[in-house]
Chains A and B, each alone.
Chain A
Amino acid sequence: MAKASTGTLYRGNEGMWSWVAHRVTGVGIFFFLLVHVLDTALVRVSPEAYNAVIGTYKTPVMAFGEIALVAAIAFHAFNGLRVILVDFSKSGPKNQKKLFWGVMIIWLIIMLAFIPRQMMHTFGG
């Protein structure tokens, strides 16, 4: 792996992997969004059609899909705010690694809160 002395501080570290994850989650969220607007559009077809498709979101399998969706959104949102701080804050670039770990901690807290909540909604209790 390249070292700082050879001219890159970026490759292979937090900066690069957060960039990769930002792209992957962004593409995933975009394709979900296309599907989600189409399924919501069924409210203009009939209440039955909409309830049928939204019913598939309530199954245990899709409950895990929603956890994956929230995980992708939470990472993309807070890493996006990190990118903004790196771009606009004077001390942002210097602290980009700390900011990355800050993003991971906030992401973990959100997931630790959402996963049991989602389990409760899906399986009762």
Chain B
Amino acid sequence: MSTTSIPAPRTGYSRHKSTRSKFEMFAWLFMRISGIVLVILIFGHLFVNLWAGEGVQAIDFGFVAGKWASPFWQIWDLLMLWLAMLHGTNGLRTIIMDYAEKPGTRMSLQVILYIASIVVIVLGTLVIFTFDPCPAGADPALLASFCQA
């Protein structure tokens, strides 16, 4: 006669053993953490580029060169690029999951989204790190004043 073990009452019941990855939980948490950081980064960006001084009218190549001459703004913009792109990509992933019902549509929209995101993140990162504020042969009138040395 085989013995059957009967669990003691009120030992707790696990509805489902956690076999799935914790990816969705991390994605949920990432949206909240990156969101708080982005509020600071983006309002700072909007204040400097749209509010202060002459606002958008002051932005040109020399303005960008002046900002990226400082590692502070390089890191600010790099962090903003990565966090905003990952936050936005995950947001669009959520929307695709909600509204695209056919597996083929879900898959192709996600592939387009991820390719676009990777291209923009890689391009933006390369631009920040390889930017030359005083390109050789450029019209000096278009460059920042610190290029005349």
Contact = CB atoms under 8 A, between A and B. Distances in A.
Interface of A: 23, 26-27, 29-30, 33-34, 37-38, 40-41, 43-44, 46-48, 50-51, 54, 57-58, 63, 66, 70, 73, 77, 80-81, 83-84, 87-88, 114, 117-118, 121-122
Contacts of B126: 44
B88 A54 contact: no
Given A51-B142, A77-B43, A84-B35, A34 B116 contact: yes
29 contacts: A27-B91, A27-B92, A29-B88, A30-B89, A30-B91, A37-B120, A41-B124, A43-B131, A44-B126, A44-B130, A44-B131, A47-B60, A47-B139, A47-B143, A50-B60, A51-B61, A54-B60, A58-B57, A58-B59, A70-B50, A77-B35, A77-B38, A77-B43, A81-B36, A88-B32, A114-B50, A114-B51, A121-B55, A122-B57
7 closest pairs, A vs B, by CB?
A: A121-B55, A47-B61, A30-B88, A47-B142, A37-B124, A80-B35, A77-B39
Q: Is the interface of A mostly helix, strand, loop or mixed?
A: helix
Nearest to B40: A77
A47 B131 CA distance: 11
A70 B36 contact: no
A39 B89 CA distance: 19
B54 interface: yes
In which size bucket is the chain B interface?
35 or more
Q: Is the interface of B mostly helix, strand, loop or mixed?
A: helix
A88 B43 CA distance: 23
Interface in B93-147: 95, 116, 120, 123-124, 126-127, 130-131, 135, 138-139, 142-143
Nearest to B113: A30
Contacts of B95: 23, 27
Nearest to B116: A34
